[in-house]
Chains A and B, each alone.
Chain A
Amino acid sequence: MEGMASLTQFLLVGLTLGSIYALVAVGFVLVYNVTGVLNFTQGEFCMLGAMLAATFVRLGIHFLPASFLAVSIVVLAAALLERAAISSARKATPLTLIFITLGAAIVIRGVALLFFGTEPYTLPVFQNLRPLQLAGASVTWASLSALVVGVIVVLLVFLLLERTMAGKALRACMINRLAAQLMGISPQLMSLLAFVLSAAVGAVAGIIIAPITLAVYDMGLMLSLKGFIAATLGGLASAPGAIAGGLLLGVLEALGAGYIGSGYKDVAAFIVLLIVLFVRPDGLISAVRGERV
C-alpha cells in the first residue's frame, strides 16, 4: 500500500531524528537536574563533535579514531567551561544563568565559525552503500546506524547510572542534592560529571547526525532548542522521560513534514513547546513553578 509505505518511511525518519533529539535531551536533563542550570551549550557540544570528527576525517584519520578524538576534545572543553563559568555562578538568579550559558554557546559558535567557516562539512562514512529496503520504505545506512548507536549510547548511560558508584551518586544528586551532600557526595564533582557526561552524549549525537544532515557551524542552536523541547515533553525530571520526549518530537516532526509541508518542520517544534508549556502545566509542575522537582 502506498500510504502505509509512506507512513513507515515517515516513522523511520522520525525515529532516527528522534534518537538524536533523545540524546541531546538526556544531556539537558542530566545537567538540569544536578545543577539547576539549563545548559544552552548542549547543542554546541553536538556541533563541535560533528565538526571536529568531520575535520579529522578530512585530514585522513579513520572514522572511529577521529570520532573518539572529537568526543574527547568536546568533553575537555565542557569540563573547562563548567569550571570556568558555571561553577562560579551557580548561586545566581535564573536570568544570570541563562545568559551565562547562552553567552558561552555564542562564544563557541563564533570560534567554530572562525575555524570552520560557513560551509557544511560532510562525514562520509556510508557513501558507497545503497539504502536498505525495510517494510516498503528505504532506509539509509546512516539512519540505521544513527538509530543503533543511539540505542547503544542510551543503554550505556543507563548502565552508568544504575550500575556504577559514580552513576548512582549522580542520580542521588538529581533527586535530592542536599541529602546527597549530607551523604558525602560532592555537588561540585557531580556538576562536573553531569556536564562531562552530557557533553559526551551530545558529541556522539552530533557525530551520528552529520552523515545524515551535514555539519555546519550554526547547527547547535536548533539542536539545543529541540533537545530542550524534547526534554520538556518528557517532564524534565528523568532520563527515560527525555528519551521518550525525543522520540515523540522526532516522529511528530517527521509526520508534520511529510503530511503538512517541510517548510513548517522547524516551527512545528516551537509550536509544540509553546503548547506544552502553556496548556499542560500539570504534567510539567516543575516547569511552571521553575523549580526542580
Chain B
Amino acid sequence: MRKWPLLLTVLLVLLYPYLLQSTYFRTIGIFIGIRAIVVIGLCLLMGYAGQASLGQAAFYALGAYTSGVLTVRYGVSPWLALPAGIILASVVAAAVGWPALKLRGHFLALATLSFGLIVYFLLKQWSFLTGGPSGLSGIPALSVAGARLRSAEYYYLVWGTVALVAWLAHNIVHSRIGRSLRAIHDSETAAECLGVDTFRLKLQLFVLSAAYAALAGTLYAHFVRFFSPAAFGFKVSIEFAIMAALGGMASIYGGVLGVATVTLLIEVLRAVVPLALPAAHAVAAVETAVFGLILVAVFIFLPDGLAGGAQQLRTRLVARRAAAAGQTKEARS
C-alpha cells in the first residue's frame, strides 16, 4: 500500500469522532467500519479469486444472530459469543461452499443467492430461536472490565478491528497464497498445472470471507442491540457487492472506500430527494435506481472501481511527468 493515502486515511479515521461530534455521525462512522469488514472479505473473494457471492448477508446474519441468541437466551458472555458466531459461519460456509464452488460463474452466484434467501427465510420462520419477524432484542452491550463501552469507544473498537482485518487481508494478498488466487482468477488451467489445488483454495477463501462477515455481524449485534431479519435480506447482500465493486474489488483499500462512498451517497440521497420528490417511497426508489446504475456503470466503465481508477490516474500522471522531464533534458542538451 502507498504511504500517504494510508497515513491520511488513518488520520481521518482517528480524528473523525472529534471532527464530527454528533451521535448521528458517530453512528454512521461505526456502521461504515462494520460494513467495511464484510466488504474487505468480499473484495478478496470477488476481486482476487473472481468468485461471485450474492449471499454475504447470510453470513453477516449468522454472526449477528449467533451472538444475539447466545447472549440473550443462554446468558453467554458477549466476548465468548463473538468467536462462536465466527465459527458457526465458517462451518456453514464450508458446508455450502463445498458443493457450490464446483459450479462456475452464473451458477455459483445463483447458488449463493439462493442460500442467502433460504437463511433469510429460516430466520423469519424459526421464531422459537430467532424471535421471528419481530426480531431479537435486549442484546447486551460489550463491556471491558465491567465498564460498558460507550459509542466513542465502540467506534475505536470497530475501526481497530477494521485495521486488523485489513492487515491480515493485505498479508494474504502479498503472499504465495495471494499470488495463487490471482493466478486462479487469470487462468485456472495454468494454476492447476503448477500444482495449485484450485478448489481447496477457493473454498478456504470463501470460508474466510464468511468469517469476516460474521465478525462484522457480531459487532453489529452488540452495537444496535436489536435487529430483525429485515436487516439481512437480499438487498443487503447486493449493497455489499456494490460497495465492493465501486470501491475496487482487487483492492483492500477499495473496500473501505466503497463503503464510505456508498454510505455517503445514501445520506445525500436521503437529504436531497425529498426536496424534489415528496412521495413517501421516492427516496427508496431513487436509492434503488441509483444503486442499479452504479452497478452497471462500474462493471462497464470502471471495472477496477474507484481505487483502481485512482491508481490508473496516478500512473498516467507519473508517466506524463517522466515524459516531460525527458523532453526538458533533451531540450537542454
Q: Are A and B interaction partners?
A: yes
The complex places the Cα of A273 from the Cα of B111 at a distance, in Å, of 8
Given contacts A109-B288, A267-B121, A281-B102, contact A100 B107 (CB under 8 A): no
Q: How many residues of B contact A (CB 8 A)?
A: 48
Secondary structure of the B side of the interface?
helix
Contact assessment for B121 and A266 in the assembled complex, using a CB-CB cutoff below 8 Å: yes
**Residue B107 contacts which of A92, A96, A97, A277 (CB distance < 8 angstroms)?**
A277
The complex places the Cα of A288 from the Cα of B111 at a distance, in Å, of 12
A131 within 8 A of B: no
On chain A, the residues within 8 Å of B281 by CB distance are 113-114, 117-118
The complex places the Cα of A93 from the Cα of B303 at a distance, in Å, of 11
A-B CB pair tally, cutoff 8 Å: 140
Instruction: Tell me which residues from 27 to 78 in chain A have a Cβ below 8 Å from any Cβ of chain B.
Output: 38
Contact assessment for A85 and B287 in the assembled complex, using a CB-CB cutoff below 8 Å: no
The digit string for B107-125, where 1 denotes a CB below 8 A from any CB of A, is 1011101110110011001
Among B52, B234, B285, max chain A CB count under 10 A is at B285
Distance between B301 CB and nearest chain A CB, rounded to angstroms: 10
Contact assessment for B300 and A88 in the assembled complex, using a CB-CB cutoff below 8 Å: yes
A270 within 8 A of B: yes
B138 within 8 A of A: no
Given contacts A111-B285, A274-B111, A290-B103, contact A267 B292 (CB under 8 A): no
The digit string for A89-132, where 1 denotes a CB below 8 A from any CB of B, is 10011111111101111111111011001100000000000000
The complex places the Cα of A144 from the Cα of B129 at a distance, in Å, of 42
Q: How many residues of A contact B (CB 8 A)?
A: 46
Contact assessment for B118 and A271 in the assembled complex, using a CB-CB cutoff below 8 Å: yes
Given contacts A89-B299, A267-B121, contact A110 B285 (CB under 8 A): yes
B89 within 8 A of A: no
The complex places the Cα of A85 from the Cα of B121 at a distance, in Å, of 33
Contact assessment for B289 and A287 in the assembled complex, using a CB-CB cutoff below 8 Å: no
The complex places the Cα of A266 from the Cα of B118 at a distance, in Å, of 9
**Residue A288 contacts which of B102, B115, B238, B245 (CB distance < 8 angstroms)?**
B102
On chain A, the residues within 8 Å of B52 by CB distance are 94-95, 98-99
Contact assessment for B125 and A94 in the assembled complex, using a CB-CB cutoff below 8 Å: no
On chain B, the residues within 8 Å of A290 by CB distance are 103-107
The digit string for A255-293, where 1 denotes a CB below 8 A from any CB of B, is 000000001101100110110011001000001111100
B82 within 8 A of A: no
A228 within 8 A of B: yes
Given contacts A225-B113, A274-B115, contact A287 B103 (CB under 8 A): yes
Contact assessment for A113 and B284 in the assembled complex, using a CB-CB cutoff below 8 Å: yes
Among A94, A95, A98, A271, max chain B CB count under 10 A is at A95
B290 within 8 A of A: yes
Among A117, A228, A267, max chain B CB count under 10 A is at A267
Distance between A91 CB and nearest chain B CB, rounded to angstroms: 12
Return 10 A-B CB contacts under 8 Å, by A number.
A89-B299, A106-B295, A110-B287, A113-B288, A264-B125, A267-B121, A274-B118, A281-B102, A287-B107, A290-B103
| 3 A-B pairs closest in CB distance | A290-B104, A110-B289, A94-B105
